[in-house]
Structure 1
Amino acid sequence: MSIDWQLAATVGKKVARPGPITTGYTLTAAREELASSAVAAEAPVREVTGLADGLPVPTARILDRGGWIEAATLSMSAMLDTEEEDSKPGISGRLAGVQAGGVLALLSGAILGQYDPFTPDPESGNDGVLMLVTPNIIAVERALHVVPGDFRLWVCLHEVTHRVQFSANPWLRDYMSSNVEALTAENSESSSEMVGRISAAMKNGRQREKGIVGAMQLLQSPEQYEAFSRMMMLGTLLEGHADHVMDAVGPAKVPTVDRIRTAFDKRRTRPQNPVQRLLRALLGMDAKLAQYIRGKAFVDEVVGTVGMTRFNAIWTGPETMPLPTEIEQPRLWIDRVL
């Protein structure tokens, strides 16, 4: 099925909530500071990670919520649609476009920044573009009562780390793309085969797994679940590594980093009302939060034990990616890989 991504962008921009009220001067100043912070973040990220030294520094795209929705639809169209480009979406494709637009509208109010490895940079034409969503960053820094300049640089450190991860290790893009392709492939199982597999899994106790992972293991084919697991581990590593770098840069560059981290983590884990909890579950936001927490604990322990230079063996290839058991017990990864 070809999703109508153009319709998704139209719907998403139409129903997305407006950003916080700001003056034109404040908005312009924030955009300019985010652009300069994205450049300023490159040197400390490269120094801390030991990655991408000498590569050119690209310009970040500073977007509003509508701009992010447009960029997201372009990225997902390139990543997910495998049908001919000139094929027109049918009724099911338009319906899927409306649904995708609604999801993107919700996400557009939560995304602070994003590195998209699948969309070409408008300036250089190279794969990968770094995006920062100005109204969301302003909204969060106001809610946390933190120093705006410090918070903007702190956010840029995270997103620039993602850019450096992919630019220093080009295989990551193909690895992610191949797993997405496997994850979204048609399931060749018959209904009876699927029912039999789910029944066997439940009898064997696999239903005891909690949350999204357990559900995915039951509903997907073995090949799809393996791809899903690899994507979960990759996401956990990328997010945890970026969070580690954000804090490792330290007060030399972000004087109020400790205050920001404390306030930000408190906001991430604050109680939610039932509707918010449902939306978070449907959008996978709780799974994303778990990736940050588990991934950062893994990177903190490995780097603290062997140092960043030896940690960077993790970027060698798919075979050095952490396994699910190794995320929980980093010593197992150290023993296997190092």
Structure 2
Amino acid sequence: MTSLGGAQMVDWNLAVATAARLGRPGPEVSREEARGIVAELRRHAKVSEEHVRGFTRLAPANPEVADTPVLVVDRPGWVRANVAGFRELLSPLLSKVEERRTGMPGGAVLGAVGGKVTGVEVGMLLSFLSSRVLGQYETFAPAGRDLPGGADGGGRLLLVAPNIVHVERELEVDPHDFRLWVCLHEETHRTQFTAVPWLRDHLRMEIQSFMEQTDIDPSTLLERLREAVQSLSGGKPGEGQEGEGAEQPEGEEERPSLVELVQTPAQREVLGRLTAVMSLLEGHADYVMDGVGPQVVPTVTEIREKFQKRRATGAGRLDLALRKLLGLDAKLRQYRDGERFVRTVVDEVGMEGFNRVWTSPNTLPTKAEIAKPAEWIARVHRKTD
């Protein structure tokens, strides 16, 4: 992170330092207990491979790429890994902003100050998230000295040990069952990307397309931000709005988050496709962890009920407010809507029929099809079958 030199649009070192300074300490465990937890998570990650591949009937396309590393990390380790991924993904957008800034009077000074400010903001966001993520398959994971990655740019599987221990204690569930249950979910993500070679590049292209549509004109962005704040606060009713106190019609989407409101129309179109893909991936992982669960996780029913309740209610009023502001509620809807899509399709056409979803980008469900699985079945499973 220190090798780039010069003033950067984001001070990544400061982001890591800020997240470390603001991050909450994990649950108290002895050194011996910590070693045991790390070893058990590694074992569960390995065992999960066989369970997930057998249930999904998905096999790695390339054994070398499939051998992605499993890293059991603490909260600062999760932050460092995500900063590395952010840098790689955001590089084209930051270069675009850098070119725009170069021709501005005082651009160098603005860049130095702006990089610090943005670094703090990124650090604050990562600090908030670092205590909530249980595990993550890092699709875009540049290998580093302390953070190994898979072959040919493959990903890595992160298991955040302090958060797993915190949640299992909070829910008062069997810790060994809960750890395996979490590993089944994350291993499903690894299987998705290792068994479907085109998926990683497809996601990257969609994300790059989203960033290319970013409006970097400060006045335009500020105006959109002002309108977004007014919309969220109810200060500027939209067309057709029936006034304060009007009930939201059944089935209508909730008011968008601040993050969604500052996007351009072109970005919203790309985001619709990304939302559909992410709903599929997250819902598939939830479906698999619950499908495999009864065979290998004796207390899976108890774990699922308690975990779903925790997911829905959040950790408190502040947590709920931040989730809404950042659009994280949309992430929770992805689990629910995606799992319902997968379950409906598998019940109708079986696992092999569902796996046609991985044939190409053209067989991925649209956002509308996630909500109406029958439309995907009608499109992909034609009558000629």
TM-score by length of 1: 0.89
Question: Residue in 2 aligned with 1:170?
Answer: 197
**Pair 1:49-2:56 in alignment:** yes
Gaps of 5+ in 1: none
- Out of 260-269 and 89-98, give the one that drifted further: 89-98
Shift of 1:273: 4.0
Q: How many residues align?
A: 331
Contact preservation (8 Å) 1:35, 1:62 = yes
Counterpart amino acid of 2:335? Y
Question: Residue in 2 aligned with 1:77?
Answer: 87
Question: Residue in 2 aligned with 1:140?
Answer: 167
Q: 1:41-65, CA deviations, whole angstroms, 9 ceiling, x for partnerless residues?
A: 0001001111125734433100000
CA distance in 2 between counterparts of 1:8 and 1:311 reads: 41
Gaps of 5+ in 2: 1-7, 99-107, 232-236, 242-247
Shift of 1:204: 7.4
Which contiguous aligned blocks of 4+ residues in structure 1 show a shift greater than 6 angstroms? Answer: none
Q: Which has the larger radius of gyration?
A: 2
Question: Residue in 1 aligned with 2:244?
Answer: none
> Map of 1:1-338 to 2, 5 A cutoff?
2-53=9-60, 55=63, 56-82=66-92, 83=94, 90-120=112-142, 122=148, 124-126=150-152, 127-185=154-212, 186-187=214-215, 191=220, 202-203=238-239, 209-212=253-256, 216=260, 219-270=262-313, 273-338=316-381
1:105–1:311 Cα change, 3 Å: same
- Out of 264-273 and 24-33, give the one that drifted further: 264-273
1:242–1:46 Cα change, 3 Å: same
CA distance in 2 between counterparts of 1:214 and 1:314 reads: 32
1:106–1:213 Cα change, 3 Å: closer
Shift of 1:140: 0.5
**Percent identical residues:** 42
1:202–1:170 Cα change, 3 Å: farther
Q: 1:223-261, CA deviations, whole angstroms, 9 ceiling, x for partnerless residues?
A: 211111111111111000000000111322111111111
CA distance in 1 between counterparts of 2:30 and 2:380 reads: 53
SS class of match (2:295): coil
Shift of 1:11: 1.0
Q: 1:108-146, CA deviations, whole angstroms, 9 ceiling, x for partnerless residues?
A: 000000001111461654420000000000000111111
1:284–1:220 Cα change, 3 Å: closer
Q: CA RMSD in A?
A: 2.8
CA distance in 2 between counterparts of 1:169 and 1:90 reads: 42
Q: 1:265-317, CA deviations, whole angstroms, 9 ceiling, x for partnerless residues?
A: 11112366432221111233211111101110110111111111110111122
Shift of 1:2: 2.7
Q: 1:62-118, CA deviations, whole angstroms, 9 ceiling, x for partnerless residues?
A: 00000000001001111112256xx89622122111100000001000000000111
CA distance in 2 between counterparts of 1:244 and 1:130 reads: 19
